[in-house]
Amino acid sequence: MNPLAVFDIFLLEALLSGVLLGGVLALLSLGLNLVFGVIDVVWICYAELIMLGMYGMYYLYTVYHAPIWVAAVACIVSVGILGVLLHVLVIAPLLGAAPINQLLATGGVLFFLQSAATVLFGIEFKNLGLRLPVLKVGGMFVSYSRLLAFAAALIGMVLVYLWLTRTYTGTAIRAIHPFVGLSFGPITFLICVLGSLGNFVGGFVAAFVFAEIISVGGLYLDLEWGYVFAFAFFIVMMFIRPQGLMARRS
Amino acid sequence: MRRAHPWIGGAALVALPFVYRSPYPLHILVIILIWSFAYTSWSVMGRFGLVSLGHGGFMGIGAYVTALAWNYGHVSPWLGVPLALVAGMVLAAVVAYPCFRFRITGHYFALVTLALSGIVLQVITATRDYTGGSLGYTPERYHGGSSLWALQFSEKTTWYLIALAVWAGGLYVWYRVDRSMLRYALEAISEDEDAAAATGIHVTAEKLKITVLSAGMTALAGALYCQYQMFISPDTVSGISVSLQMVFAVVVGGIYVSLGPTIGAVITILLAEVLRISFGTRAVGWDNLVYGVLLVLFIVFLPKGIVGSLLDLRRRVGWSSS
């Protein structure tokens, strides 16, 4: 007998996949939060950099057969360099300008990177071809890759928390598409704001809350409704607690 | 100059389709006029530092309410379009009022409205049993697609004149706002809300007025787009990318001048068309690539946009034709 059968197995699976999605989102919003927290600049194109990292992984690992660790390190380093370039070329001239100009300029970079990816890499999904097993726990299916991302997020958070490095690449995500940036971008952004800018723990909590809403909402209705609830939750939270989830009331 | 030029230009634009009636350029002109109107609607509030990324949502509401009312309720667009306008304005008021009440400004306001256009897009996609989801939606044709009752016209010239009238109306609204007390109140608010409130300006009410006006105009643009194209899909009339597209075109054209959004629309749409024609299907992505570069260059070097910078230049050089 399945010991978990007393609970609704689908709900449990949705909850669990929410936790794992939360891990991915937390990892994504971690770096963004860092940019926010340290230089107070709104990088709307942040998710596109991650997307480039993913493409880098795909080409190095699947097409050029580089060892996976070499590919991962090379991607993290080159995305880091891209970030520096972006800062010097686009952000630095605008540091004194209105925040909204920085947002729009990085928005321009977003359009640029996204369409560059469409032009260069095409619009088909690329697959890393990493055959990671799907775990079966008590009748529930758990994607190993998300588990990895979850672990990476935890480790990444601890590392950043200890002020060691910035973690950019969500290497454990196996499929990549030019619109990955667009689908994750706004959400990571909202998560950072929801969890108070520059507050890593807040961002982490917000990522999980968001992911649970998307995942559980998507279970009962369509996935789209999950997003609707998540966005609506964001709007309402902005009204109730504009300083973010974890902010102390002043 | 303020007196004569608009009338001469307007007369030339009205006369154009009677002299030159090649369908493709006329189609491009109609599209440019509709988007110019949408961009103008955005800049009516955007110029006061109220950067909304929710306008894609209002435009989507305008398009889908009109089309759904026609297909399901057999409501003529003569009633459906006002209905869509009201829906867009109500949505704007419902979201904007708490925003202004709780002092959500700057990029926080941009993010709340961004979430709003995300919601509209996802709701349209999720209710695919009624709206066709991401496959798009077509209002039913009535009398072979040419009927005043259904606001469907097969003649491109008719559409050109309608779009021209609406666009001119948009510019008129822009001009009226520019000349109103509302403008001074909103400029004071965008400088410093507390100081503005201290001088007796009702901050929330003034911001709400301009937001509802702008949202209503944008919903009208959506309805017009729907009636002209006879096909709408969530990605072309709603969502975050449409909102960004509006902001970008306005920034390129010039946010603080009446014709800025129009010039922005002309540039971005012509650019997309030229790239589409010269590269064909290989152009997928190229237009946005060029947009992106342009946008960054504009914000770094010409933050006032093309028209704004030209006006500045003229002022500096010292020619004044008025």
pLDDT tens digits, one per residue of A77-126: 777 777 777 777 776 776 666 666 777 777 777 777 777 777 666 655 55
- State the pLDDT at residue A138: 52
Beta bridge partners of A127: A175
Separation CA A185–CA B52 (nearest Å): 17
Tell me the residue type at B152. Q
Separation CA A113–CA A57 (nearest Å): 16
Separation CA A204–CA A224 (nearest Å): 23
Q: Which residue from A42, A117, A231 is facing B118, i.e. has the nearest CB?
A: A231
- Interface contact A182-B241, CB threshold 8 A: yes
**pLDDT per residue as tens digits for the range A206-222:** 777 777 777 777 777 77
For residue B273, being part of any structural domain is answered with: no
Separation CA B163–CA B35 (nearest Å): 10
For residue A107, being part of any structural domain is answered with: yes
Alpha-helical (H) ranges within A43-142 are 46-57, 68-86, 99-121
What ipTM was predicted for this assembly? 0.73
For residue A55, being part of any structural domain is answered with: yes
HEC string of B260-287 equals HHHHHHHHHHHHHHHHHHHHHHHHCCHH
For residue B286, being part of any structural domain is answered with: no
- State the pLDDT at residue B212: 94
Q: Could you tell me where the beta strands, DSSP code E, fall in A155-219?
A: 175-176
Pairing of strands A126-127, A134-137: unpaired
In this structure, what token pair is assigned to residue B8?
A: 């001469």
| Residue A168 contacts B where some CB pair is shorter than 8 Å | no
For residue B288, being part of any structural domain is answered with: no
**Is the pLDDT assigned to residue A5 strictly greater than 70?**
no
| Residue A178 contacts B where some CB pair is shorter than 8 Å | yes
Nearest chain B residue (CA) to A191: B111
For residue B207, being part of any structural domain is answered with: yes
Domain hosting residue A64, numbered range: 7-240
Alpha-helical (H) ranges within B102-155 are 106-126, 128-131
For residue A33, being part of any structural domain is answered with: yes
Q: Which of residues 25-44 of A touch B (CB under 8 A)?
A: 42
- A169 burial via Cβ count (<10 Å: 0-12, 13-18, 19+): buried
Distance from CA of B229 to the nearest CA of A (A): 25
In contact, B93 and A189? CB cutoff 8 Å: no
Q: Which residues contact B133 (CB under 8 A, 6 or more apart)?
A: B124, B125, B126, B127, B234
Closest C-alpha to A233, from A173, A191, A183, A172: A191
For residue A246, being part of any structural domain is answered with: no
For residue A247, being part of any structural domain is answered with: no
- Interface contact A182-B251, CB threshold 8 A: no
**Is the pLDDT assigned to residue A18 strictly greater than 90?**
no
Contacts of B292 in chain A (CB under 8 A): 108-115
Distance from CA of B112 to the nearest CA of A (A): 6
For residue A224, being part of any structural domain is answered with: yes
Tell me the residue type at B267. I
Q: Which residues contact A10 (CB under 8 A, 6 or more apart)?
A: A219
Contacts of B99 in chain A (CB under 8 A): 238-239
- State the pLDDT at residue B255: 82
For residue A13, being part of any structural domain is answered with: yes
How many independent structural domains does chain A possess?
1
- State the pLDDT at residue B313: 78
Separation CA A54–CA B179 (nearest Å): 52
For residue B259, being part of any structural domain is answered with: no
Interior angle at CA A201, CA A200 and CA A203, nearest 5: 65
Query: Per-residue confidence of chain B (322 residues) as pLDDT tens digits?
Result: 456 777 888 888 887 888 877 888 889 999 999 999 999 999 998 888 888 888 999 999 999 999 999 888 888 889 989 999 999 999 999 989 988 888 877 777 888 888 888 889 888 888 888 888 778 888 888 877 777 777 888 888 888 999 999 999 999 999 999 888 888 888 888 888 888 888 888 888 888 999 999 999 999 999 999 999 888 888 888 877 788 888 888 888 888 888 889 988 998 888 878 877 777 666 666 767 777 777 777 777 777 777 777 777 777 776 544 4
In contact, B255 and B305? CB cutoff 8 Å: yes
- State the pLDDT at residue B284: 64
Closest C-alpha to B161, from B59, B26, B264, B66: B26
| Residue B10 contacts A where some CB pair is shorter than 8 Å | no
**Is the pLDDT assigned to residue A180 strictly greater than 50?**
no
Interior angle at CA B127, CA B124 and CA B133, nearest 5: 60
Contacts of A41 in chain B (CB under 8 A): none
For residue B148, being part of any structural domain is answered with: yes
Mutate to test the interface with B, among A115, A118, A237 (most CBs of B within 10 A): A115
For residue A249, being part of any structural domain is answered with: no
In contact, B138 and B230? CB cutoff 8 Å: yes
Contacts of A97 in chain B (CB under 8 A): 299, 303
- A85 burial via Cβ count (<10 Å: 0-12, 13-18, 19+): exposed
Contacts of A35 in chain B (CB under 8 A): none
| Residue A222 contacts B where some CB pair is shorter than 8 Å | yes
Separation CA A24–CA A169 (nearest Å): 10
Tell me the residue type at A125. F
| Residue A92 contacts B where some CB pair is shorter than 8 Å | no
Q: Using the 8-state DSSP alphabet, how is residue A197 labeled?
A: T
Closest C-alpha to B31, from B236, B234, B219: B236
Q: Using the 8-state DSSP alphabet, how is residue A93 labeled?
A: G
In this structure, what token pair is assigned to residue A178?
A: 């030019």
A129: pLDDT confidence band, cut at 50, 70 and 90? very low
In contact, B214 and B52? CB cutoff 8 Å: yes
How many independent structural domains does chain B possess?
1
For residue B69, being part of any structural domain is answered with: yes
| Residue B295 contacts A where some CB pair is shorter than 8 Å | yes
Closest C-alpha to A154, from A57, A47, A69, A30: A30
Please report, for chain B, how many H helices and E strands are present, in that order: 15, 0
Contacts of B56 in chain A (CB under 8 A): none
For residue B217, being part of any structural domain is answered with: yes
In this structure, what token pair is assigned to residue A217?
A: 């909402």
Domain hosting residue B81, numbered range: 5-238
